[in-house]
Amino acid sequence: MNINLEELTTDEKLKIMEALWDDICRSAPDFASPSWHEKVLKERQQYLKEGKDRFVDWDQARKDIRDSIK
């Protein structure tokens, strides 16, 4: 399979990434995250505890990302 990425819009690329991620989540439930993920998650938990970070609704996060690249 060949995909010419240069011909896709950013919106199309994001939609493809979302579709791929959804498919991976459904078809590979036993997939193991890389070991460095644990370190990043612990750092983010600490930032939350210290009030240096906050959660953002996923729909709002996607909108913010899309708006930032237009």
Q: What is the value of pTM for the model shown?
A: 0.45
- What are the b/e assignments for 27-53, b being 16+ CB within 10 Å? eeeeeeeeeeeeeeeeeeeeeeeeeee
Amino acid at residue number 38:
E
Average pLDDT over residues 25-45: 87
Which positions ≥6 away from 11 have C-beta within 8 Å?
66
> Which of the two residues, 30 and 23, has the higher pLDDT score?
23
> How is residue 63 written in tokens?
């909108």
Res 58 pLDDT > 80: yes
Query: For residue 32, what pLDDT is reported?
Result: 81
pLDDT confidence of 26, banded at 50, 70, 90? confident
